[in-house]
Amino acid sequence: MAVIDVFNGDADGLCALVQLRLADPQESQLVSGVKRDIALLDRVEAGEGDRVTVLDVSLDKNREGLTALLANGAEVFYVDHHFAGDIPEHAKLSTKINTAADVCTSLLVNGHLQGEYALWAIVGAYGDNLRKSAQTLAAQQNVAEADLEKLENLGIYLNYNGYGASLDDLHFTPTELFAELLPFSNPLDFIADSAGTFRKLESGYHSDMTAAAQLPPVRSSDIAAVYVLPNERWARRVSGVYSNDLANAHPDRAHAVLTEKADGNYLVSIRAPLNNKRGADEFCRQFPTGGGRAAAAGINDLAGDTLEHFCEQFETFYRSLAD
């Protein structure tokens, strides 16, 4: 029997899997990638007697792979908060899918485990920029203010590490980070005892964010703002967390961060206004390579000659939600 763990390479996917494997230790085959690499089930071969856990990737984007696994007799446990479309009914498929804007996969796993490793769920929620949800859970766990700041920073840094065009852009691959996180039932112990890894993530994050902050928006209004980052490794790493930072700084405004690609096209990160967390997934699904969730979504390949039209679409879409 093979045990296969498939997870998004961002903070939410990592922290969800850490919780599950702390609760149920297994020697497993790990399948992951950069945050935007979400069609992960296409890489999985499994059949009768095999167990596949899938975390924090859209069922809709993995429908063919999931169908094939179930047809081959594999047992699948699927936990996610992205747009799923129609969820198949199958005796060997178990799902925990909730697309509410204040939910992430780590929080769903926390509920499944009845809060056994809640601090890791808090880290995952912070990584997904669900600060209110993280703070609510932290209050239930009586987390001290100083410790809460450490958990928030860890979530941000883990999420930051997941962004890139390829694994070569990352400071650590998701599977490397998972191996470093798993020995610690308490993320505060990881911060204290794995200083080298934590400090590398921290210093990289601050360096890249400083570079991003020097760039003005290409378009900005009270409704929406669009930023363009260059085709550089630091820009690819920072694109998602910079989007979160902008959303936190301007909670009534929608944000799009476009990162130039080698072929002249763009990778796009979208954040809905924090005070109206709607529409990011709907907007991005208008594009062939778009998807995500209501509060945060993205487009993997936007044509380079459509920037002006994209800015108009983005402004118009979020102005319609504000009216």
Q: In this predicted model, what pLDDT tens digit does every residue of 250-295 receive, in sequence order?
A: 999 999 999 999 999 999 999 999 999 999 999 999 999 999 889 9
pLDDT of 308 higher than 90: yes
Alpha-carbon gap, residue 158 to 217, rounded angstroms: 26
The pLDDT, as a whole number, for residue 194 is: 85
Residue corresponding to tokens 């912070």: 126
Residues 38, 184 within the same domain: yes
The letter for the amino acid at 320 is S
pLDDT of 323 higher than 80: no
Residue corresponding to tokens 């080698």: 262
Q: Is residue 212 part of a domain?
A: no
Residues 155, 287 within the same domain: no
Alpha-carbon gap, residue 258 to 255, rounded angstroms: 10
State in Å, rounded, how far the first CA of the chain is from the last one.
55
The helix/strand count (H/E) of the chain reads as: 12, 11
Q: Is residue 214 part of a domain?
A: no
Q: What is the dihedral of CA 21, 44, 127, 157, to 10 degrees?
A: 90
pLDDT tens digits along 212-252: 999 999 999 999 999 999 999 999 999 989 999 999 999 99
Residue corresponding to tokens 């002249």: 264
Q: Give the domain-ending residue among 177, 204, 231.
A: 204
pLDDT of 211 higher than 80: yes
Render the burial of 127-138: b for 16+ CB within 10 Å, e for the rest: bbbbeebbbebb
Q: Residue 263 belongs to what domain range?
A: 219-322
pLDDT tens digits along 179-203: 999 999 999 999 999 879 999 999 9
Residues 46, 116 within the same domain: yes
- Which secondary-structure segment (H or E) carries 108? helix 105-112
For 63, the token pair is 């429908």
- Which secondary-structure segment (H or E) carries 184? none
| Domain CATH code at residue 280 | 3.10.310.30
Indicate the average pLDDT of the chain. 96
The pLDDT, as a whole number, for residue 303 is: 97
The pLDDT, as a whole number, for residue 162 is: 95
pLDDT above 70 coverage of the chain, percent: 100
Q: Give the domain-ending residue among 179, 204, 229.
A: 204
Q: Is residue 180 part of a domain?
A: yes
Alpha helix stretches (DSSP H) within 213-295: 233-249, 280-284
**Nearest one of 96, 104, 98 to 13, comparing CA atoms:** 104
Residues 61, 171 within the same domain: yes
Q: Is residue 82 part of a domain?
A: yes
| Domain CATH code at residue 170 | 3.90.1640
Residues forming a β-bridge with 31: 6
Residues 133, 97 within the same domain: yes
Q: Is residue 209 part of a domain?
A: no
Residues 180, 41 within the same domain: yes
Q: Is residue 88 part of a domain?
A: yes
Alpha-carbon gap, residue 315 to 120, rounded angstroms: 36
The number of folded domains in the chain is 2
pLDDT tens digits along 25-83: 999 999 999 998 889 999 999 999 999 999 999 999 999 999 999 999 999 999 999 98
Residues 174, 318 within the same domain: no
DSSP state letters, 86-98: SPPP-TTEEEEE-
Q: Is residue 237 part of a domain?
A: yes
**Nearest one of 2, 6, 1 to 32, comparing CA atoms:** 6
